[in-house]
Amino acid sequence: MNATTPRLMTIRQFAKTGLLTEHAIRMLIKQKRIPAVFIGSKALLDADAVTEAIRKIAERNVVFEPWD
């Protein structure tokens, strides 16, 4: 594979990386918050694109509170 070829993974394979559970991945796909390619009913994920989407979601959800 070269740098431009996406690394496609099933939901189960991506969940084994430890970033998210299968359930969390399925929910984010359903909410259209992470990209997925469907072949029939099987969802394939571009690992780099999903990791970037998760990073962006995490950045938006971080709340910084000042120290007292």
| pLDDT tens, residue order, the chain (68 aa) | 556 677 899 999 999 999 999 999 999 999 999 999 999 999 999 999 999 999 998 888 876 666 65
Stated pTM of the model? 0.77
Print the domain residue range for 33: 8-61
User: In the prediction, which pLDDT does 6 show?
Assistant: 73
User: In the prediction, which pLDDT does 34 show?
Assistant: 93
In whole angstroms, what is the distance from residue 33 CA to residue 31 CA? Answer: 5
Long-range contacts, 35-43 (Cβ 8 Å, 24+):
37/8, 42/10, 43/10, 43/11
User: In the prediction, which pLDDT does 7 show?
Assistant: 86
Domain count, the chain: 1
Classify residue 37: in a domain, yes or no. Answer: yes
Classify residue 67: in a domain, yes or no. Answer: no
Classify residue 66: in a domain, yes or no. Answer: no
Classify residue 43: in a domain, yes or no. Answer: yes
- Number of CB atoms found within 10 A of residue 18's CB: 7
